[in-house]
Structure 1
Amino acid sequence: MNFAAFAAQNGAACPDDLPAHVDPFVQMWLHTRGHQAEGRSRRGGLSSFADELRRPILQLLRRLLPERGFSRTVRPLPFAETVPDFFDALHEERGLRPSTLQLYASHLRLLERFLQRQDGIDLQTLSPSELEAFMRECSATQTPASLAPLFSHLRIFLRYLHREGLLNVDLSVHVDGPRHYRLATLPRAINWDDITQLLAAVDRRSAVGKRDYALLVLLTTYGLRAREVAALTLEDIDWVHERLAVPARKGGHASAYPLSPGVGEALVEYLQHGRATSNQRAVFLRMPAPHDPMTHSAISECVGKRIKRAGIAVARPGSHTLRHSCVTRLVERGFSLKAIGDYVGHRHPKSTQIYTKLDLEALRELALGDGEVLL
């Protein structure tokens, strides 16, 4: 309502005039009420507060002007004014996909917000000491596996700045990748008692409960990724032959599973009594109108909330927690790593090796018995 009043006062006469008033409105709001950023923005800073202001307005514009193609994830690109051509260069020179460009933008926003908190420091005056302070700040909150792509993107960005003459010195040489040892960590799986507790905690009387229960059962049974579940359509469920097709796997291949009774019953209950009436062919839809398909991030966030509500303690709860739990269950049941990798769609056998660290019985037998026999 505030945006509508602002746009009308500044000459907007029809919906087509509204997009031009989004950024001026956000800037006005930040100027007059920027103090509200403290405590209201989850990540802190005016940049995050601006994103919170812009998001509902873009949702409005998507409904008013569907032909304009406003994306749900539309956000100002980092350093859009000082380095306007960087993302075009990534697309044209490297041929990167939109999802990869979004990851670049997410990482560079961290640097942009860091510089905004430093008085008098911008890209032109960035020094190795400030760069090191930024990397230390990131290292305090992220794992080495997450830091590797962040620092890689940072190096590419700094090389581009030097190439374009925006930096006199190539600071990319000061960005060292974190030490990350393969198989050094444990998968964030939960045991089967926790899975039972998680499923029992879902109130299946409501429509959202029916949907979330079907999601949880599907993820737990087949160990699918959130992207694969988000891509499922009604045509992928073959009720006659009791098969479930997963066409959009990470490795570019497709899989087909027998439709287990538990998964089938949960899907039927959701599709008949929980899924909103819609022309969308995606299996899982958002509950609020206009009932768009759930994105992979929405699915992971939904699962994470369900895990927390069930009182289950696990690091970074989400859809991948259930994938890890599915694989761990198969390892404990004695299936070969090759069979498990094929079942969950691993592209490389090494991706499954980490789960052997969770097979406590086999490790105990290896420690107490004749290790050569097991090997």
Structure 2
Amino acid sequence: MLWQSYTKGFKAYLKLERSLSGNSVDAYLSDVDKLRQYFNSINATPNLNDITISDIKSFISWLHNLGMLATTQARVISGLKAFFSFLMIEEVIENNPTALIEAPKLIRKLPDTLNIHEINALIDAIDASKPEGMRNKAIIEVLYGCGLRVSELTELKISNLFPQIEFIKVIGKGNKERLIPIGGTALKLVDIYITQVRVHAKIKKGNEDFIFLNRSGTKLSRISIFNLIKTLAASTGLKKAISPHTLRHSFATHLIEGGADLRAVQEMLGHSSITTTEIYTHIDRDYLREVITQFHPRA
């Protein structure tokens, strides 16, 4: 499919002709790479000109089955549309397989969350005797314990761990840095993984500082985290459609329900606007309404 050659041209097109920022360009390239990962997962290597609308629909179903949010799917579709439009301009392809593809309709709704028993079940389902077991336990603890976005987790570095004061430094959207407290359990599992498991890995050059590595000695991809969550949910019999973001939602929801200050939660989540964080107060209101319905004699 000559992915590398055409993605280089696409990158130059985005930078020079569309004048996009480095972060935006990286996001577009990441969207295109997800399609490559999909074809790899089904052991297919079609020519770019042979990709059909049916292939794109199957790819979108694959994203959905991974547990990706509709907003993420919409962004990926937008990125693919830009890529195939570029290929049309360059006369690499004759037909655009994304031309009739519509992004999923975005409905603002309260996010799904897990209770603490469900989170514990996910962690307990991990086989710690396997080489990646301790790593996976640490991943779940950090996602839930710190409320990280999946991209923030994959980019988390050893140099940004401050165990003495129990904080981690995270690089969020727009390269904004923030400090987040990390609980004792998560910190302990991360330390065990780094000092007892990761220390034996053959790490590829350039990946030495990333905390969570795959078997090849490179940092984990977003897709691998989605697959991990999906596998754990299936193994525990969890019926909810969850993703890594579900643990972030659960982190925020449990803090708000426990009485945490909204501004503090906003800071830890890295939301630029308090209105984004306020969705979790709606969850809290639903919880309070359930309490009234269940326990009040005149409800």
Considering the TM-score relative to the shorter chain, is it more than 0.5?
yes
CA contact (8 A) 1:207 1:270 kept: no
Structure number with bigger Rg? 1
CA RMSD, 1 decimal: 4.3
Change (3 A) 1:98 1:357: same
Deviations 1:45-80 (A, max 9, x none): xxxxxxxxxxxxxxxxxxxxxxxxxxxxxx633996
| Identical positions, percent | 21
- 1:302 corresponds to which residue? 228
With CA pairs under 8 Å and 6+ residues apart, which has the higher RCO, 1 or 2?
A: 2
Q: Counterparts of 1:272 and 1:114 in 2: how far apart (Å)?
A: 45
- 1:34-53 mapped onto 2 (5 Å cutoff): none
- In the alignment, structure 2 segments of 5+ residues that lack a partner are 40-45, 295-299
Q: Aligned AA for 2:192? A: E
- Pairing 1:99–2:27 present: yes
Deviation of 1:223 after TM superposition, in Å, equals 1.0
Change (3 A) 1:272 1:174: closer
Question: Please, which of 248, 251, 271 is the counterpart of residue 326 of structure 1?
Answer: 251
- In the alignment, structure 1 segments of 5+ residues that lack a partner are 1-74, 119-130, 369-375
CA contact (8 A) 1:148 1:178 kept: yes
Change (3 A) 1:144 1:256: closer
How many residues are aligned here? Answer: 272
Question: Please, which of 224, 249, 252 is the counterpart of residue 148 of structure 2?
Answer: 224
- Pairing 1:191–2:119 present: no
TM-score by length of 2: 0.69
- 1:238-253 mapped onto 2 (5 Å cutoff): 238-239=162-163, 241-253=164-176
Q: Counterparts of 1:116 and 1:167 in 2: how far apart (Å)?
A: 9
Deviation of 1:84 after TM superposition, in Å, equals 10
Q: Counterparts of 1:338 and 1:296 in 2: how far apart (Å)?
A: 28
Question: Please, which of 185, 189, 192 is the counterpart of residue 266 of structure 1?
Answer: 189
Q: Aligned AA for 1:267? A: V
Deviation of 1:366 after TM superposition, in Å, equals 8.8
Deviation of 1:173 after TM superposition, in Å, equals 9.7
Change (3 A) 1:265 1:166: closer
- 1:48 corresponds to which residue? none
TM-score by length of 1: 0.57
Q: Aligned AA for 1:273? A: Q
Question: Please, which of 277, 282, 289 is the counterpart of residue 200 of structure 2?
Answer: 277
Question: Please, which of 361, 370, 374 is the counterpart of residue 287 of structure 2?
Answer: 361
Question: Please, which of 272, 275, 291 is the counterpart of residue 217 of structure 2?
Answer: 291
Change (3 A) 1:173 1:295: closer
- 2:177 corresponds to which residue? 254
